[in-house]
Amino acid sequence: MKNTKYIFVTGGVTSSLGKGIIAASLAKLLQVRGYSVTIQKLDPYINIDPGTLNPYEHGECFVTNDGAETDLDLGHYERFLNIPTSQSNNVTTGRIYQSVIDKERRGDFLGKTVQVIPHITDEIKRRIRLLGNTGDYDIVITEIGGTVGDIESLPYVEAVRQLEWELGRENAVVIHLTLVPYLAAAGELKTKPTQHSVKMLMQSGVNPDILVCRTEHPIGDDIKRKLALFCNVQQNDVIESIDVNTIYDVPNLMYDEGLDEVVLNKLKLPTDPKPNLEQWNEFLRKHKNPKHTVEIGLVGKYVELQDAYKSISEAFIHAGSSQEINVNLHWIHSESLTTENAASKLKDLNGVLVAPGFGVRGVEGKIKAIQYIRENNIPFLGICLGMQMAVIEFARNVLNLENANSTEMDKKTPYPVINLMEEQKNISNMGGTMRLGAWDCKLEKGTKVYEAYQTEMISERHRHRYEFNNDYAEKFSNAGMKISGVNPKTNLVETIEIPEHPYFVGVQYHPEYKSTVLNPHPLFVAFVKACLESK
């Protein structure tokens, strides 16, 4: 069995410094050196998972093949590494406590007093080591959410302290990501926030081995020397992470700074061969030197926080780069769309994606947008709720089924073209009615979706509750909306399209979750191509 090595990534000074991107970039560099690597995220909030969190609170909820609703950082991990994650890659405080309390209720602790130390920290350590114990990975990178000093992060930091001791210095490395701010009034960079952050980490018994310093200006050798002296690290262990134009520049930036080499030396692992970033850099070259530009509207109800649609915006980058096309996204709030202003907001676009979501807010705006798109032959891609809105729009305006709707929006609709399956109707637990994770879909040959995938059987990730109502399938087909893909076991509708339209495709699943730098999703590639052709 492999002797798995562990890397812990903590953050200080402020949140949103980019721990996930640093972890993913380091993992990429180690991967292209030939090491098998995975990354996990430990989230200190008490929710069991982000599934019930408002996107404004936490951005996108990412879904894995095994149906886990997880932090959006797992999307970065998959996009960078091109390998799927699972339930084991995301752990929350809620899940930790739930597991410990369940054991206590079963009597597993034999009457002992259950405490944060050792019981909670033991459970954290067990979760951290789950991936390493599979024998599949040389290195497991664990990103600890939040900021050092947060009360909710303390058990995780303590678990790291214990693990470092148990694993031995050659098997564990702590990277601390921190901020070196520039004070314009003084005209200089300040190291004090980093010093305080490291001091706080050390008070918890954890000495960082490497500092990664986020900065707007180059920090130079003098500041590296000062930080090394005050923070008990070697000067080589102080890594500059300067702001860049795209997150996809960060692996090259970290390679130039020698982060991967420093880590490998501390873990006593070979530093040869050097990383082969040829494919990665070819992607970057195309991304930065597009030959064409397309204007695509993204219609959604969370557009104020673009992280709510992170996987979609990144999938457009992957698909655009593969064809040397710059995708210029226009964020359009569905609540602001009406019959009167749809033309002014949509007429100059080369294509429109109607985004997923839950709940009634903003859906009528999505329906108005889809009507304009359909009637004016603008390329369309509807994802999850976006597909369902396309079905409702078609029912109302082509089939003339007045007040057709989804029972999610209107329980008393006379024409429930989107509905719960019979077996779901008596389930009250919020997650119980969800169709989550990877489900198969059989595509019909000769359709737009088949053309994109070039294969009959596909598997895609789902996150939804309501389904196309098959009672209306024949009506839709006769009127020109084709059901082009279904689940072979349940006969649930997965994809719809209008063959007479230049490009009108709706999918019940989330193709954006599977798009990566090296494998752009075929549906996004096909859609971007259709948008270019529509110009």
Q: What is the pLDDT along the chain (535 residues), one digit of tens a residue?
A: 579 999 999 999 888 899 999 999 999 999 999 999 999 999 999 988 888 787 877 789 999 999 999 999 999 999 999 999 999 999 999 999 999 999 999 999 998 999 999 999 999 999 999 999 999 999 999 999 999 999 999 999 999 999 999 999 899 999 999 999 999 898 899 999 999 999 999 999 999 999 999 999 999 999 999 999 999 999 999 999 999 999 999 999 999 999 999 999 999 999 988 999 999 999 999 999 999 999 999 999 998 888 899 999 999 999 999 999 999 999 999 999 898 999 999 999 999 999 998 888 889 999 999 999 999 999 999 999 999 999 999 999 999 999 999 999 999 999 999 998 765 555 444 444 688 999 999 999 999 999 999 999 999 999 998 999 999 999 999 999 999 999 999 999 999 999 999 999 999 999 999 999 999 999 999 999 999 998 8
Tokens of 330: 């226009």
Name the active-site residue from 231, 510, 521, 531: 510
Q: What is the DSSP letter of 66?
A: T
- Cα-Cα end-to-end distance for the chain: 56
Q: Does 152 appear as a known binding residue?
A: yes
Q: Please report, for residues 97, 204, 209, 240, the alpha-carbon distance to residue 155 in angstroms, rounded to integers and kept in the order given.
A: 11, 10, 20, 29
Query: Which residues make Cβ contacts (< 8 Å) with residue 60, sequence separation at least 6?
Result: 72, 75, 307, 308, 309, 310, 311
441 is annotated as an active-site residue: no
333 is annotated as an active-site residue: no
Longest CA–CA span in the chain (Å) reads 75
Burial class (CB in 10 A: 0-12, 13-18, 19+), 474: exposed
Rounded to an integer, what distance in angstroms lies between the CA atom of residue 367 and that of residue 451?
Answer: 27
Name the active-site residue from 213, 512, 521, 531: 512
CB contact burial 82-108 (16+ within 10 A = b; e otherwise) = eebbbbbbbbbbebbbebbeeeeeeee
Q: Does 337 appear as a known binding residue?
A: no
For residue 78, the SS3 value is helix
Count the neighbouring beta carbons within 10 Å of the beta carbon of residue 141. Answer: 26
Helices 19-31, 73-81: axis angle to 10 degrees equals: 20
Q: Does 216 appear as a known binding residue?
A: no
Q: Does 385 appear as a known binding residue?
A: yes
- Written as one string, the DSSP assignment of 93-151 is HHHHHHHHHHHHHHTTTTTPPP-IIIIIHHHHHHHHHHHHHTT--SEEEEEEPS-TT-G
Q: What pLDDT is recorded for position 433?
A: 62
Tokens of 402: 């007045």
- The amino acid present at 251, given as its one-letter code, is P
Q: Does 240 appear as a known binding residue?
A: no
Q: Does 125 appear as a known binding residue?
A: no
384 is annotated as an active-site residue: yes
Tokens of 57: 């609170």
Q: Number of C-alpha atoms within 13 angstroms, CB side, residue 242?
A: 11
Q: Does 28 appear as a known binding residue?
A: no
Q: Does 244 appear as a known binding residue?
A: yes
Rounded to an integer, what distance in angstroms lies between the CA atom of residue 485 and that of residue 385?
Answer: 16
Name the active-site residue from 61, 213, 231, 384: 384
Q: Does 112 appear as a known binding residue?
A: no
Q: Does 21 appear as a known binding residue?
A: yes
- What domains appear along the chain, each with residue ranges and CATH number? 5-281 (3.40.50.300), 290-534 (3.40.50.880)
Q: Does 525 appear as a known binding residue?
A: no
